[in-house]
Structure 1
Amino acid sequence: MQLQLISFLLIILHFMDYTGCQQHSSSRHRQHKLMSGGSSGCQQGGCLTCSDYNGCLSCRPRFFMHLERIGMKQIGVCLTSCPLGFYGTRSPERNTCTKCRLECDSCFNKNFCTRCRSGFYLHLGRCLESCPEGLVRSDAQRECVPSCPAECESCANSETCAQCRPGLYQLSGRCHHVCPDDYEPSDKLMECVAQVHCEVGEWGEWSPCSRSGRTCGFKRGQEIRTRQVLQYPSPFGKPCPEISEVKECLVKRRKCPGRKKIERKERRNRNNRKDKENPEGRRERKRERERERDAGERDDPDNTNKTEHRQRRGHETEPVSTDDGLVQ
């Protein structure tokens, strides 16, 4: 009986020793996996130790430990910088990413926000639901801004000027010292208005060859063509190009009909202009015209006959005195 009891105790001790050995071997194996980084969850370069279930357990120097949620599970990842909505804290033991305050979209630390989430407005590093006195909310910037921009005389809201201060030009609710490209200042409206550039049409046909307004009596002349201005430029717009062109031309010389009459008329006009300037010349011109008329009458037989007829009629009608003193 005693021998059976001793044998049973030896069997139990042997089994316990075997179990402890297996556990020690398994523990050493797990430790080896964690330190060596052989796990599939330790593939990224920032991990120092990791596990299949929890990802990174520690990070290499200068990396931040960040916990990412996947469903109901959180795994550790090692990052060079913390993601949006978190800020990094460094310590000798480990560097970690800490979540910003609830009202912050991004932050520098737990007490200093750099951007607020919707419905809050940034002021001196804090996210506020309402801005302090003298400031208004800017939905675009999510910040508390001055009630009216400094360059505005009056404004519709914190970002739109209704009227600029003297010397500034308004464009799309903003005030400018110098208007942007493609705009020019209007001193009458005190606004930046769009520049208008010159526009011209197509060239017309070349004119007939002429000289001094004549189309005959010459061999060398000029031809002209023009085009219309469709849109005149504004003061700072692109100016108009040339709207007329001239080129030399050659024609077969021919006499102008009635040219002598034209020349006499031109000479008479020149003489009249001289007469106005010189009274003596005017009298000389008059005598010259009388001589030309008399010469013309001598050359024209009809005029000669008319002159003789007038002279005869003058003699016939001249009164004759008789001895009695009567007029017949």
Structure 2
Amino acid sequence: MGLVVPHWEISGVSSGCQQGGCLTCSDYNGCLSCKPRFFMHLERIGMKQIGVCMTSCPPGFYGTRSPERNTCTKCRSECDSCFNKNFCTRCRAGFYLHLGKCQENCPEGLVRSDTQRECVPRCPAECEACVNSETCARCRPGLYQLSGRCHHVCPEDYEPSDKLMECTPQVHCEVGEWSEWSPCSRSGRTCGFKRGQETRTRQVLQYPSAFGNPCPEISEMKECLVKRRKCAGGRKKNERRNRNNRKDKENQEGRRERKRERGQERERDTGEREDSENRNKTEHRHRRGHDTDPVSPDDSLPLLLHFHH
């Protein structure tokens, strides 16, 4: 029988006629019959059996219904739990479930799983763990999982995720509708020209994943023609521009005149220096010539006269 849990500790148990499950009872044997839809379960306490009415049978038992009474019947010895006498839903340790039967060895092509206590298919070569012979629960290193299969290269419309080691759906770029064309303009102006450009744009609604389709152009430009028209305030701008041009011209002429005057001053300075140097040279020659002139006959005459005397 195994360990018997006292009926007052089992959820759903009705003990004695005071409990809602019992229809008839005795002080010695507990419930003798149960209300409709309750199961009669016999618990052994020492040499005595106590009847307990339960909404469902405990583990290791299965419920059978009949017009006379609903009872809990023990599963086969190798079953931990069962659906009926011939169909186990979980096996005891050392047995492995296959098609509702608990057996010590699995059929050919299946292997024992101690954690599940079941006979499971041998995993495909690319699987590290599998649900069955066609469904992998975990792939070997370097492979990407998709829908229970392992792939070296992800199929079309999927891309590898090295973080998850899975094939994830590709995300392609999505863009919105084009805006209206902008007014014809040129260099930021909308007047004063004949040929210009118009532009339009659209927003990115969904950016692509690493391998998804990239976004198309989100801006376009085209040439445009407009009837030439003067810009508002153009006359004033032209007058101001002409004044500025005249000022620039006057400034340039003034700079040229000052440059010409400076050149003339340098020429005068150079001429004056040359004249001064020439005068100095002339005076120097005169002085030197005066010092070396021969004595005139008139100067030497008194000396000769004195000599004869």
Q: TM-score, length-normalised on structure 2?
A: 0.43
More helix per residue: 1
Q: Which has the higher contact order (CA 8 A, sep 6+)?
A: 2
Please identify the structure whose Cα radius of gyration is greater. 2
- Tell me the TM-score normalised to structure 1 length: 0.41
